[in-house]
Structure formats: structure tokens, C-alpha cells
Structure 1
Amino acid sequence: MPLVDTILSALWGITLESWSLFLEMAPYLFLGFTVAGLLHIFVPEEKIIKYLGESAGKIRSSLNASLMGIPIPLCSCGVVPTALSLQKRGATKGATLSFLISTPETGVDSISITYALLDPIMTVFRPLATLITALSAGIAENFLGKEKRTVALNKTAENKIPLNNNLLMTQPTAACEDSSCSCHVPSDNTELSGSQRLKEGMKYAYVELLGDISKWLVFGIVIAGIISYAVPYEVVHTYLGGGILSMLVMLLVGIPLYICATASTPLAAAFIAKGMSPGTAFVFLLAGPATNAATITMVTKFLGKRSAVLYLTTIAVCSLIFGLVLDMIYFRLGVEAISIVGSASEILPAQVKIVFALILIPLMIYGIYKH
């Protein structure tokens, strides 16, 4: 039957494309989760707040919050209660806003996957653009906002956000209605021995965190496989090849969409491979993970409408600016993004990629089953 054969052929083609993509990601994904586990157990969370409060200054508090958020692998939903917990403990509203932006846009896992699936230019540019975006929003909030509203917010947040000594992983309330946000409350490991803390960190990395994002990661890989197999190069190149209109389209798609930084990366790689300009893809990478409908609602509720408008405006404007800048960088360097996408991962032998993929698959299956 021709129709059945066509469907089976398409499914097989999508499977091969998705598997190829996963192989490229696996070693760097494994590395990213390892670093995330180490951060989880060694970052002195109880001391962080002194760098984010008013005593740190309006600029430095936002800078510290932006830098603090970059390596932490939290999604745009899971970061909301964590950020509000930081503010409740004395962080400025600007620092809170900076943390809200920098944390979901990047993480050690997404940075490593960016290197594997895209190229060194994008790997460096992504966290740098995130830092500037988060810092811009935080400074603007601290200088233009009315910090006296913080007291009222803190009282409200105290009733809404449960206390926890672990600032990086505060249990969410309305922000996360499922378990896909990397926002579980870990056990207190301050009294554990070094080996026990290491075990706790690896459990967090490869069971909790990997489990939290596994289904979204699989979703992103499959969608990227469909794009790679089914979408003609001419369609993407013609309609989303570059320019401000293409970037506006990706901005409108990315802002309300729930997708984590890790899962958005294979989609961007697939789009670039099909002819999308790197700047247009970057708009999606910056705006998509930073926001979604639930996050916007929570920011409006707890930080106020003006802060929510500033939050969205900064992300939108910076996404477009950095998208244009990135396209200019590739043009000035004479680099064709489509020709070097995934080139960094070629330094690893295929056997190494397969080993890491086979290690991750059962962990991801367990994570999906558990959640």
C-alpha cells in the first residue's frame, strides 16, 4: 500500500534524524548535568542573598543576580518562586527581575548543547546576550521602579511562597502545575559528608533534573527531527531567512510558548540547517525560554504590571537587537551558519557519542515514567 509505505518511510526518516540529533547532544548533555549537580551541592546558597540586596547597590545587585542565574538550570516557570523567594529575603526588585531573565535563558546544560549543536560563536554569544538583557532589565527596574512596594510584595509573597533554605530550588506554587520545571525541593545536605553530598548532587542532576526536562527534551528533539526531515530548505530560507520581519515572527512564537533552554536548542539548530538566519533563530533562543504565559501571569501578580511590562519589553527589544547583531557578526566574519552548525561535536568519535546516548536513554525513560 503506497500510503502505508509513505507513512512508514516518513516515520523512519524522522526517527533517524532525531536519533542523529540526540547522538550529537548526548556527551554535552551529560557534561551539563554533571556541572549542574556540582553547583547544586557546592553553591553557598545561604550567603548569596547579601550580594543581591540594597546594600550591594542598584547596579551591582542586578549584575550579581544576572551572573548567578546564568549557570542554574531552571525553566521559566520554576524560576518564578525561586526569584520571589530571593526578593522576600531582601533582594532588590531589579535583582529579582535580572534573575528571572538570566536563569531560564541559559544553563550549564543548554550552553554545552549549544556548543554541540550550533557553533562556538553562538555558544559565546548566547550567555553574553542573556547577561546584558537581564542586567538591562534589572538596572532599569532599580532606577525607574518604586522599591517601597517591596514591603507589600514581601508580605504577599510570604503567604504565597513557602520558605526553604535552598534558594536555588524553592518549591513553586501556582507557577508550576506539573513536574517539568526543575523546581523540586531537595533535601538539606548541609550535614552530609563529602561523598554523601556528591551522591546527593548526582541524584539531583541525573534523576530529578534530567527527569524534569526529559519529556520536553524528547519533544524538542522529535520536533527538530520532523523539521529536518519534512520542511523544505526553500520554505524556511524564503520566509524566515532573516530580517526584522522574520525575527518578529519568531518573537511572537517564542514569548507565550513554554520551552526550556535545553529543548529550544535542537529546534534552533534544525531551523538554521533549513536556511533560517542565525539571528532569527537566536530571537527564539532568547525569548522562548525566558517567558511563557504562566510566567507572565505570575510576574504581573507578584511584581506588578509595570514590572511585567518592563520584563517583556526588555526581552523583546534585546532579542531583536541581538538577533540583528548576530546576523551582522556572521556576515562580517564571512561565516555561513548552515555550514558550521554542529561542527563542534565532530571532535568526538561516534563511539563516544553512542556510549553517552545509551547512558542517558534509561535515565530519561525513568525520569519520564517517574514524573
Structure 2
Amino acid sequence: MDYLIEVFRQSAGLLFASAPYIIFGLVVSGLLRVFLNPNLVSRHLGHGRFSSVFKAAFLGIPIPLCSCSVLPAAVTLKKQGANNGATTAFLISTPESGVDSIAVSWALLDPIMAVARPVAAFAAASAAGIAENLFGSSRVEQPAKPDLSCPVDGCCTGEDCSPEEHRKHHTLLEKLRAGVRFAFGEVWGDMVGWFFIGLIIAGLVVALLPPDLLGKYLGGGIGSMLIMLAAGIPIYICATASTPIAAALILQGVSPGAALVFLLAGPATNITSLTVLFGVLGKRAAVIYLSVIAVSAVVFGLAVDAIYNALGLNGTALLGKAAEAFPLWIGWISAGALVIFSVKPLSAAIKAKFSKNSGEGSCSCHGCCSDHAPNRIMDHMPKNPH
């Protein structure tokens, strides 16, 4: 019983510390959804072997999508004119980072990790995208017409009215409301189950494992990085949910660099998404995707440990200091709000789990596999023979 109480106490503490930052990240994600102009995607991501990749990698950094739900988003980019390298870059940078995960990294980890995470994601995405454009198919693809449908309520397709005319259809307040609904509905609904699972795992790690056990084997060095890489690649966990687990690992003696490997590899890869990637991008692109993630995660993990050692910093000592910027009552209110927003998607997920028909298949990705999403993705993505 004492162990259960300690697990709850540790998990609740992480929730209170991270809740204000999660809400901030969700709000920003909703604003991106409403105000991001699809014309910009076609204009900037469809041309250039290098510039399009850098722009796609940068675009993916703030968007909070998991490794499964990023696939439909990548299809949209492709349909809006993004080339293969830009699409690959977006597929890597988006699940590895996000405004919500960056904010939570600042709260639960420390400023170095909060900066290293998006920087590593950008570098890995850029390397993979450039490799795909340089060594991929030389066939020139005509950019598709951008999807200009209204993101607020679908009032028009963007073809039957000009952008100038459509700007008059919705007030700023209506756009903000639509963005908030998207953030706390679709975005939070996709990650909420995995976030609470991450909190529970983090609580178990801190409460049940001896402090020196993980530090003995994962305290730094190439061996630690490879172990975390092997653990992170096959599992499914979103960027936000992986953060409290990383915080618990560091608290138990795991080096910040090894934790960073988990933060990069876990959200960007899992068995389901890799299987779909082989189908939609081809074997060559999928191998590039996985290889770049593995190499970059280890390289940046070693680099982060070197930075901590050079500065004489201890990852455990810095852990969670940023969360102290908010008064305790803000953490309580934010945590309460998140719990309230979580009731509907969690109950829907539990109900769907127990009411599955015998003919329906299982899915490892919460909220992003309805209507057989992988099949829909493959139907719309051009097949790559390589």
C-alpha cells in the first residue's frame, strides 16, 4: 500500500509541475491549426532540394503530433505540394518535438534538455530529408493543389471563394474558439491516454527502482545510448508522454544524454508507424528514416552528456527547476483543468476498447487509427518503387 501511495504521489507531482506548460503548448497548437496558411506549404515545401527540407523540418518542430497521427498530416503536406525530402523531414521533426513537449521539457527537465530536444529533431529531420532528395527518385513530381478548405467550420473549400472573401466569414474570436476546440479536443484526445500512462510509469520508476540501479548501467557512454535506443525504437509513446518518464530516469541516475536518446527515438518510431512508412515511402526512404534517427539520437546523446560534463552540471540537480516559476495554485488549477478535459476522450477510448466488434482490428495508436488510417494513407500516397 505504501508503494501505491508513493507512485501516486510521484505521478501527481509531475502532473502539477507540467500542467501549466501543457496547456500553453496545446493553445499554441490550436492557433497553428487555424492560422497556418496552406498556400505557404505549397510555395515553400515543393521546390528546392535543401531549402524545402529545412523549412519542413522547422515547420514540424512546434506541431504536436505523435508518430502515428503525423502520417495523415504528412499526406496532407504531400497533397499540398511538398516534395519527398520535405515530407520525410516533417515526419521526423514533428513527432520528436512540439510546443507542448518543449514546454514540458522546460518544466520537468531543464533548459539544456528543452533546447537540445528541438535542435536534435531539426538536425535529424534535415539530414534525412536531404538524403532522400539527393539519393531518392529523380522523377519530377508536379506539386498538388493546396487544400484551402476552411479550418474553422468547413464553410468553403477555398475554391468557391477567394482567400480575401473567406477572411470575412469568421471573426478573430471564432477562429480562436476553433483553435481551442481543436487543441483540447483532437490534439489532447490523441495524446491524453499515453500522457497518463507516462505519468504512471514515471511514478513506478521513482517509487520502485533503487536509485543506483539504472545509474549503474545507464550512467553515460555509448553503451547507455545503445540500450536506450533499443528500448525506444520499437515502443509507442508520444513526445509529451515520454518527458515525465525521462525525468524519472534522470532522477534515478540515467545520464541526460541517454534520456535524450529515449526522447528522440521513442516518439519518432514504433513498429506500426515503421510498417506504414515502408508502404508509403518505400524501403529506401524508410531505411534512411530509421538510420538517421538512430545515429542522430546517439550523437546528440553523447554531445549532451559532454556539455553537462564540460559545464560541471548534474542533471538531477537541475531537474524540474523551471516548474518553480509558477505558484503552486496555478499548478493545481491547470492540473484540474487537464483532468476535466481528459474525462471525455479517456472514457471514449475505454468504451471503444471494451466494445470492439470481433471483426475489428486492434490499433496501437490512440485516436489516430479510426477507419483504418494506415490504409487511407497508403491509398493517397504515391508508391515509391525504391
TM-score norm. by structure 1 comes to 0.87
- The residue correspondences of 1:271-290 to structure 2 (distance < 5 A) are 271-290=249-268
Checking the alignment, whether the CA contact within 8 Å between 2:38 and 2:147 is kept in structure 1 is no
CA distance in 2, matches of 1:78, 1:166: 20
> Are 2:46 and 1:53 equivalent residues in the alignment?
yes
Amino acid at match of 2:271: A
Q: 1:223 maps to which residue?
A: 201
Q: CA deviation at 1:366?
A: 2.1
Aligned mates of 1:310, 1:93 — CA distance in 2: 12
What is the aligned counterpart of 2:89 among 86, 89, 98? Answer: 98
Indicate if the aligned counterparts of 1:118 and 1:342 stay in contact, CA closer than 8 A. Answer: yes
Task: Trace 1:242-281 onto structure 2 (pairs within 5 A).
Answer: 242-281=220-259
How far residue 252 of structure 1 moved from its aligned partner, in angstroms, is: 1.0
Q: Distance between the aligned counterparts of 1:258 and 1:186, measured in 2? A: 31
Question: Which residue number in structure 2 is paired with residue 44 of structure 1?
Answer: 37
Q: Could you tell me how far 1:368 is from its partner in structure 2? A: 1.1
Q: What are the residue-to-residue correspondences of 1:267-346 with 2, within 5 Å?
A: 267-346=245-324
The structure whose residues are more often helix, as a share, is 1
Residue 25 in structure 1 maps to residue 3 in structure 2: no
Compared with structure 1, are the counterparts of its residues 11 and 165 closer, same or farther at alpha carbon in structure 2 (3 Å cutoff)?
farther
Q: For residues 292-350 of structure 1, what are the alpha-carbon distances to aligned partners after superposition, in whole Å with 9 as ceiling and x for unaligned? A: 11111111111110101100000000000000000000000100001111011112221
**1:208–1:367 Cα contact (<8 Å) kept:** no
Q: Structure 2 stretches of 5 or more lacking a match?
A: 156-165, 350-386
CA–CA distance in 2 between the matches of 1:45 and 1:89?
7
- 2:60 is matched by which residue type in structure 1? G
Alpha carbons 2:41, 2:77 under 8 Å: kept: no
- Aligned partner (choices 9, 13, 22) of residue 16 of structure 1: 9
Q: Is the 8 A contact 1:51 1:64 kept in 2?
A: yes
Partner residue of 2:128?
137
> 2:67 pairs with 70, 76, 79, which one?
76
SS for the counterpart of 1:75 is coil
C-alpha contact 2:206 2:248 (8 A) present in aligned 1: yes
User: Within 1, Cα distance between the matches of 2:335 and 2:77?
Assistant: 36
* Distance in 2, Cα, partners of 1:347 & 1:80: 36
In the alignment, the residues of structure 1 paired with residue 149 and residue 264 of structure 2 have an alpha-carbon distance, to the nearest angstrom, of 27
3-state SS of 1:202 partner: helix
Question: Which residues in structure 2 correspond to 1:204-219 (within 5 Å)?
Answer: 204-219=182-197
**Superposition deviation, residue 89 in structure 1:** 3.3
Deviation at 1:47, TM superposition (A): 2.9
Q: Percent identity?
A: 44
Structure 2 match to 1:350? 328
Unmatched tracts of structure 1, length 5 or more: 1-7, 168-184
Corresponding letter in the other structure for 1:147: S
Does structure 2 retain, via aligned residues, the 8 Å contact 1:211–1:370?
A: no
Contact 1:13 / 1:229 at 8 angstroms: preserved in 2? yes
Q: Whole-Å Cα distance in 2 between the matches of residues 274 and 166 of structure 1?
A: 49
Q: Is the 8 A contact 2:152 2:175 kept in 1?
A: no
